Structure 1
Amino acid sequence: MKEFEVYSSLKVPRNSKIIVRLDGRSFHKLAKDLKLQKPYDDNFYKVMANVCEDLFKEFSPILVYTFSDEISLLMDKIPFDGRIEKINSVTASFAASSFVINYGVDFKKPPSFDSRIIPISDEDVLKYFRWRQDESWKNCIASHGISFLKSKYSNNEANDKINGLNSSEIHELLYRNGINLNDVETYKKRGIAVYRKNKKVEGLNKKENKNQVSYRSYVYVDWDVPIFNEEFFENLIW
């Protein structure tokens, strides 16, 4: 019966980098069930950061990046011999399990993530993460915009007023009403990243009986992500 598993042999290209992107399934309904604070719920983002850290420790990607209910993993060490079905199913189920454990509440309906694989060249890595970070900024503007309008109008009126407005117009609307998005926490504008950093360690070399400096890497959760640029990716520990 093994021959019926027609998709199980599909693999990503050898010696390539991939991005695995996870998206929360029906998280708008989940947000209502959990009564998340608008426009941003601090506890939700702490949970998502913990999920990203768990993913990082489990799958050893170069970078994990998240905003809203979306997570992107940049990988050069491809797990499961590159098998697409395996990568998609395990990363998505692992993320959902981590989300449940880190949230620590009884869910009305089990949360889940979908997963897709994006083969990517070195030249396009920065383009991809700039694209997703731009979406994070647009999401920030839209979330604050609809939240502000719903504080003044009914849900239907607020939705009608924001329809057709572009990001610049929403930004201007907020600014005129005393909300400066430049003052919003960085993670709400640019997302959260998890990657490795080096730290300096000083100790005694007993063999040579002298002080010695070394560097060790550790997993770093960055809540103050810069605007992605070439320098950021050049400095990652690949």
Structure 2
Amino acid sequence: MKEYEIYSDLRVPVNSKIIVRLDGRSFHSFAQNMELTKPYDDNFYKVIVEVSKELFEEFSPLFIYTFSDEISILLDKVPFNGRIEKINSVMASFTSSSFTLNYDVNFPKAVAFDSRVIPITDDKIYDYFKWRQDEAWRNCVNGYGIHFLKSKYSSSQANEKIRGLGLSDIHEMLFQNGINLNDVETWKKRGIGVYRKNREVTGFNKKESKKQTSYRSFIHVDCNLPIFSKEFFNELF
């Protein structure tokens, strides 16, 4: 029956980098059922950060970027010999389990993440993450916009009023009503990055009887990302 597993040997190109993007399944309903704070729930994002850190520890990627219920993982060491079925199934199940364990509450139903594999070349890494960061900004503007409108109107009226408005229109509407998105925390506007940094460590070399400085890498959670540039990724890798 092994011959029926026709997709099991589908693999990513040899020696390539990939991005694995994970998305929460039906998380709009999840947010309603869990009565999450709108437009941003601090506890939800603390959990997403912990999940991202655990993914980093497990799979040693170059970079993780997350906003909303989305996590993008850039890998140069592709696991499972590049087998796409294996990558998708393990990544999605690991993320779902990590999220459930870190949230530590009884959910009304099982939480699930889907997964997709995206082959990427070095010259397209910036383009991909800039695309996702632009989406994080749109998510921020629209989130604050609909939250404000729902504080004034019914849900149906709020949805009708925001329909067709551009980002600049929503931004101006919020500003005219005392909400300046420039004052919003950076991670809400630009997302969160997880990557390795070096930390200076000073110790004492007993053999040479002197202080000695070395560097150790650690997993850094960056909640103050800049607007992505090619230089950012050049320095990172």
State the Cα RMSD in Å: 0.8
Alignment match, 1:11: 11
1:148 and 2:148 matched: yes
Give the deviation of 1:232 after TM superposition.
1.8
Q: Is 1:40 aligned with 2:37?
A: no
Where in structure 2 are the equivalents of 1:1-238 lying within 5 Å?
Answer: 1-236=1-236, 238=237
TM-score normalised to structure 1 length: 0.98
How far did residue 202 of structure 1 move? 1.2
Residue 14 of structure 2: SS of its match in structure 1? coil
What is the SS of the residue equivalent to 1:145?
helix
> C-alpha deviations, 1:47-78, integer Å up to 9, x for none?
11111011000110001110001000000010
| Distance in 2 between residues matched to 1:206 and 1:79, nearest whole Å | 41
3-state DSSP of counterpart to 1:35: coil
Shift of residue 195, structure 1, vs aligned partner: 0.4
Spell out, residue by residue over 1:152-187, the C-alpha distance to the aligned partner (whole angstroms, 9 max, x if none).
Answer: 001111000000101111111101111000000011
SS state of the match for residue 133, structure 2?
helix
Structure 1 residue 210, shift from structure 2 partner? 2.3
Runs (4+) of structure 1 moved beyond 6 Å?
none
Percent identity of paired positions between Structure 1 and Structure 2: 65
1:102-134 per-position Cα deviation (integer Å, ceiling 9, x unaligned): 101101111101110100000000110000000
The one-letter code matched in structure 2 to 1:195 is Y
Q: Give the aligned residue type for 2:187.
A: Y
Local SS of the residue matching 1:235: helix
1:212, 1:115 → 2: CA distance? 45
Matched positions, count: 237
Tell me by how many angstroms 1:231 deviates. 2.5
Partner secondary structure for residue 168 of structure 1:
helix
Distance (whole Å) between structure 2 residues aligned to residue 105 and residue 224 of structure 1: 29
Aligned to 1:20, the other structure's residue is in SS state strand
Q: 1:186 is aligned with what amino acid?
A: T
Query: Deviation at 1:209?
Result: 2.5
* SS state at 1:88 partner: helix
Tell me the TM-score normalised to structure 2 length.
Answer: 0.98
For residues 13 and 163 of structure 2, the distance between their equivalents in structure 1, rounded to whole angstroms, comes to 42
